[in-house]
Copies of this chain bind each other. A is one copy, B any other.
Amino acid sequence: MASIQPVVLFFVFGVLAGVIKSDLKIPEALYKSLSIFLLIAIGFKGGVSMAKYEIMEVLPVALSMVVLSALIPLTAYPILRYLGKFTQADAGAISAHYGSVSAVTFAVGVAFLAAKDEPSEGYMVLIMALMEIPALVTGTILARAGAGGEKTQWGKLMHEILTGTSLYLLVMGVIIGYYAGMVKLVSPLDKMFMDLFMGVLAFFLLEMGLLAAARLKVVAAKGVFIISFGVLFPMLMGAFGAYLGWIFGLSEGGTMLLAVLYASCSYIAAPAAMRLAVPDADPALSLGASLGVTFPFNIFIGVPIYWEMAHWFHSIAV
| A residues adjacent to B (C-beta < 8 A) | 2, 5-7, 9-10, 13, 17, 20-30, 32-33, 36-37, 111, 114-115, 159-160, 163-165, 168-169, 172, 175-176, 179-180, 183, 185-186, 188-189, 191-193, 195-200, 202-203, 272
Give the dominant DSSP class at A's interface: helix
Question: What chain B residues lie within 8 Å of A183 (beta carbons)?
Answer: 2, 6
Cβ–Cβ contact A176 & B9, under 8 A: yes
Question: What chain B residues lie within 8 Å of A199 (beta carbons)?
Answer: 188-189, 191-193, 196
Cβ–Cβ contact A179 & B6, under 8 A: yes
State in angstroms the CA–CA spacing of A36 and B203 once bound together.
9
Cβ–Cβ contact B189 & A202, under 8 A: yes
Q: Which of B24, B111, B172, B195 is close to A13, meaning CB atoms less than 8 Å apart?
A: B172
What's the least CB distance linking A164 to chain B, in Å?
6
Q: Which of B24, B28, B33, B179 is close to A169, meaning CB atoms less than 8 Å apart?
A: B24
Q: Which of B17, B114, B188 is close to A168, meaning CB atoms less than 8 Å apart?
A: B17
**Nearest-neighbor residue (CB-CB) of A23 within chain B:** B165
State in angstroms the CA–CA spacing of A169 and B207 once bound together.
13
Question: What chain B residues lie within 8 Å of A29 (beta carbons)?
Answer: 27-30, 33
Q: Which of B6, B25, B28, B195 is close to A185, meaning CB atoms less than 8 Å apart?
A: B6
State in angstroms the CA–CA spacing of A255 and B165 once bound together.
40
Question: What chain B residues lie within 8 Å of A36 (beta carbons)?
Answer: 26, 30, 203
What's the least CB distance linking A24 to chain B, in Å?
5
Question: What chain B residues lie within 8 Å of A17 (beta carbons)?
Answer: 163, 168
**Nearest-neighbor residue (CB-CB) of A179 within chain B:** B6
What's the least CB distance linking A14 to chain B, in Å?
9
8 contacts between A and B (CB under 8 A): A2-B185, A6-B176, A13-B168, A22-B163, A30-B36, A189-B199, A191-B196, A196-B199
